[in-house]
Every structure is written in C-alpha cells, then in structure tokens.
Amino acid sequence: MVAQLITEHLASLELSGDDLKRMWLHQANRHMNDLIARKVLGYDPSETQAPIILDRYANTSSAGSIIAFHLHREQLVEGDVGVICSFGAGYSAGSVVIRRL
C-alpha cells in the first residue's frame, strides 16, 4: 500500500522512482523500508538512498521519517528530489515530495 501511495503521488507530479535521490521512510522495520524502497525505485536501495536510523534510535514510529530527513539531507544538491513518508499499521499513510532549492 505504501509503495503504491508513493508511486501514485510521484506520478501526480509527473515524477517516478527514477527521479528520487532519497527516500526518508517510517522507521519501524528495516525489511519493510527496504521492500517499499525496492518497489518504488525498482532496485535495492543503497543506505544513502533510503537511510535507516533504527540502529541509532530504534523504532521511532512516524517521527522516524522526519528524524531520518533531519540527519540525512545535507548531501542533496539543488534540484534533487526526495520523498518523506510515514505510515501506521496499514491504516494510514502520508507522503511529502520535496525538491532542494
């Protein structure tokens, strides 16, 4: 559901997974994050493309995507596109697509 949400959100902006420099995802489960990123990008993400903070902060729930964004945003250059996405137990999900100015 989350991968579809992100893909449809990107498509509504005439973007695709190929346009993403980085994904900051909900930080509850490493395997779930890898699966979502793989479905959106079409390949296994690098640690730079889909940073994980679970090893440092454990499960931070929906705040994890914002913490990951805060810690892993400085390397982006003007024009880079990313997506911040949080979700909960399959019942709610939201994403924000950003572009570095």
Could you tell me if 95 and 83 are in contact, meaning their C-beta atoms sit under 8 angstroms apart? yes
Q: Against a cut of 0.95, is the pTM above it?
A: no
pLDDT score, position 36: 95
Tell me which CATH code domain 2-90 carries. 3.40.47.10
Crossing angle (nearest 10°) for helices 2-12 and 30-41: 40
What rounded mean pLDDT belongs to the chain?
Answer: 93
The pLDDT of residue 35 is above 90? yes
Determine how many CB atoms are found less than 10 A away from the CB of residue 13. 11
Extents of the domains making up the chain: 2-90
